[in-house]
Amino acid sequence: MMARTLGLLVLAAGLVVISMGNSHNMAADSAPPKLLRHMVLFQFKEGVSKAEVDEVVTAFAALPGKISQIHSFERGTDVSVENLAAGFTHGFLVTFKTAADRDAYLPHPEHQKFVDLVKPRVEKALVFDYWVE
């Protein structure tokens, strides 16, 4: 009886492994959806206060709650030890599922309101869009 139970357990475990293997292969066959990254770097003007910088960061971080086309959002400040940031101190990564989503985001009134807040405070901005490969 014990040998039969053990045999059934081994058989069941083998079926689970086979089943998991098949689902993995199916997932590997279908390519993950492409995502469009919209990378933004800011170099703030000399004399812009910490409070003004914080206002920009907070306003940018609020956009995903106001613009439905934004799939995800990340932000951070430069911590590189390579000293190659060229004066850019703050980075933002806005992700879209489609180019149409990005294209709707750019003229969106909430984004334009944000741009109006940023323009007088930023010395340089770098914007770089790319598809995740």
What type of residue sits at position 1? M
pTM greater than 0.85 (yes/no): no
Is pLDDT of 54 > 70?
Answer: yes
Which regions of 1-131 does DSSP assign to beta strands (E)?
A: 36-44, 72-77, 90-96, 122-131
Long-range contacts from 7-16, C-beta under 8 angstroms, 24+ separation = none
Is pLDDT of 67 > 70?
Answer: yes
Classify 36-131 by CATH class. alpha beta
Is pLDDT of 22 > 50?
Answer: no
- The domain segmentation of the chain, as residue ranges, is 1-30, 36-131
Query: How buried is 42 (Cβ within 10 angstroms: 0-12 exposed, 13-18 middle, 19+ buried)?
Result: buried
